[in-house]
Chains A and B, each alone.
Chain A
Amino acid sequence: MAAHGSNYINAEKGLASWFTTLDHKRIGLMYMISVLTFFLCGGIAALLIRGELWTPGNTLFDATVYNQVMTYHGAIMVFMVIIPGIPAILGNFLLPLHIGAKDVAFPRLNLASWYVFMTGAFLAISTLFTNKIDTGWTFYTPYSLKTSTAVVSMVFAAFIMGMSSILTGLNFIATVHKMRAPGMTMLRMPLFVWGIYSTAILQVLATPVLGITLLLIAAERLLGVGIFDPALGGDPVLFQHFFWFYSHPAVYIMILPAMGIISELITAFSRKTIFGYTAIAFSSLGIAAVSFFVWGHHMFVSGQSEVAGIIFSFLTMLVGVPTAIKMFNWLATLYKGSIQFRSPMLYAFGFLFLFVIGGVTGIMLAVIGLDVHFHDTYFVIAHFHYVMVGGTLMALMGGFYYWLPKMFGKMYNEFWARLSFVFIFVGFNVTFFPQFILGSMGMPRRYYGYLPAYQSLNQISTVGSWLIAIGFLISLYTIIQCLMSGAPAPANPWGAKTLEWTIPSPPPHDNFDVEPIVTAGPYEYR
């Protein structure tokens, strides 16, 4: 029985107790600090990019530096923020709570995942101080084989972080299969768990291929093997097949947990059971499965055969179906619900709006004829920022504001939280909507310079980036103020129904004093 006032934060004192913890909640917090720090780094790189693009010529730095900045923005955001993001932070914190377990299946492996992640991250950051890479985060050959920058270090860093992702995924699959409380059947699990579970399957199945691809880049550079280098008789398009076999499922690793969060937010703040639970649950698995069949849509203009292109195009459109199922079910949940516009719900609405735009433009890009025009333009950049930022990041923010009271036992100031949403939402659209237009007009991506005709839209976009930055600074202030002087949070400030709300805020070290016996689904509002 937990002592009164004893929770996972104060259960043990001292920094060493954190670095040797086996508690999934503490590990979630450690990931939170790491990932948010890397988000700051990637965000600064973004501001530098947008700052440089204020004018067509040299605004802040030259083209060589620009190539480096845009590479690090991508690499940091992809490998160190968005892929680990929700699973490592909220997944770690919540998964055992959601299924009524004391911890994940392999707590020591969980701690090891964090250390492995940090090792890879440090190696990646170190390249900033040795020999900054300029290949773009996608490491396309043959340039990545020829450039005299720290590619080998960076691919090893990504390899190591990939291992962390695999270990987390493996842990979560075993946890979902084996650690559920009595009565918690798979179809009684919260939809956040279905999101994390589908993601974990992707992490285990897709990441190893990235692993071998990265090792092969290193082998090519160090030994000159020749598999991807056309000068040695290799096939650079084969590299792209290998790379995107992982990297396409990777974008679903980014979005599936976010969709899980949205399910939780929509149902809690409509005070209504989710519409179509089974469809949403299986659509997560469906999206995960189909994600392996579509990677060639990144390669329509690479020299890939037309036959492959047509098949990939068709299959890509297919992946819109399970996604749409989710969207419609969320909307149906809202219908006749008792909606509360608390800040987490604002972020959920933001997601619904922005993700639709991102998703639909994705379907546009799936059409080969359109993609030939849009490939490597700002249209693509706008598309994936709408889904990754408008989608995943919005959901992550909503999730933070939803679960912050549970994690820290404090309530935050609702006004500042809502204000941060306004700045981020408005700022996001101001930044990225013009980029759809710029892309249609033909502005290429990853380019340091552009035609003068594109300047006004670029400047609007840059102003938008400042609004986003202000929004996140407000969020940072909100969180710090909450931690320092927030009002104590009750066990269930939102009146939600999933298991984490039945225990104190913050939770005790062992989660549940008595193992819960589950007799109903997770959203029995009415």
Chain B
Amino acid sequence: MADKKTVPAEAHASPHFVVPYATLRNVAFALLGFTALTVITAQMHLGWAAAPIAFLIALMKALLVMAYFMGLKFDAPLNRLIFACGFIFLSLLYIFSALDIFNRIPQLPTL
């Protein structure tokens, strides 16, 4: 009896994709632009906002590298999920440790 589930889904579309030259160039310039931006904002006196802003700019750069240089935008969704898991589970290390560290009641002063 023929079984509907025998043909693998990947048999039809090609997994190869070529990121256009112009796209790569534009992304590179955007990355350089963001780098300049982060250096400029670092010189400004932003107080408590300095760190989150620097992180956000870094995040934008990272997303560009992941999407276009690493090709995740054009790649299989599973690979996106796999890579995202790295960051998600890393955040667990941070979140639960923070749950401890930021709720401690200090008994003795640190150094």
Contact = CB atoms under 8 A, between A and B. Distances in A.
Bound together: yes
B93 A308 contact: no
B90 to A, nearest CB: 8
A205 B89 contact: yes
A237 to B, nearest CB: 7
Given A182-B6, A183-B5, A183-B6, A241 B103 contact: no
B4 to A, nearest CB: 9
A66 interface: no
B99 A517 contact: no
Interface in B80-109: 85-86, 89, 92-93, 96-97, 99-105
A299 B111 CA distance: 24
A141 to B, nearest CB: 15
Interface of B: 1, 3, 5-8, 78, 85-86, 89, 92-93, 96-97, 99-105, 110-111
Interface stretch (A107-115, A251-259, A289-297, A368-376): A289-297
11 contacts: A182-B7, A183-B6, A205-B85, A241-B93, A241-B97, A241-B100, A242-B97, A292-B92, A305-B104, A305-B105, A517-B3
Contact of B93 (A182, A185, A245, A305): A245
A238 B93 contact: no
B95 to A, nearest CB: 9
Contacts of B7: 182
A306 B78 contact: no
A231 to B, nearest CB: 9
Interface of A: 177, 182-183, 185, 205-206, 209, 233, 235, 237-238, 241-242, 245, 292-293, 295-296, 299, 303-308, 311-312, 517-519
A51 to B, nearest CB: 39
B103 A307 contact: yes
Contacts of B8: 182
A237 B99 CA distance: 13
B101 A311 contact: no
A352 to B, nearest CB: 32
B103 A295 contact: no
Contacts of A295: 96
A304 B93 contact: no
A311 B110 CA distance: 26
Contacts of A183: 3, 5-6
B92 A308 contact: no
A308 B96 CA distance: 7
B98 to A, nearest CB: 9
Given A182-B7, A308-B99, 11 more contacts: A177-B78, A185-B5, A233-B110, A237-B100, A238-B97, A241-B96, A242-B97, A296-B96, A296-B100, A308-B96, A519-B3
Most A-side CB within 10 Å, residue of B1, B85, B111: B111
Contacts of A306: 103
The 9 closest A-B pairs by CB, nearest first: A305-B103, A308-B100, A307-B103, A182-B6, A233-B111, A241-B97, A308-B99, A519-B3, A305-B104
B1 A312 contact: no
B44 to A, nearest CB: 31
A229 to B, nearest CB: 11
B78 A307 contact: no
Contacts of A205: 85-86, 89
Contacts of B1: 519
Contacts of A242: 93, 97
Contacts of A235: 101
A235 B111 CA distance: 12
A177 B99 CA distance: 35
A139 B92 CA distance: 22
A390 B78 CA distance: 37
A289 to B, nearest CB: 10
Contact of A209 (B3, B78, B93, B99): B93
Most B-side CB within 10 Å, residue of A182, A235, A308: A308
Contacts of A518: 3
Contacts of B105: 305
Contacts of A517: 3, 6
Contacts of B93: 209, 241-242, 245
Most A-side CB within 10 Å, residue of B7, B92, B97, B105: B97
Nearest to B10: A178
Nearest to A188: B5
B111 A308 contact: no
A468 B93 CA distance: 39
Nearest to A235: B101
B103 A312 contact: no
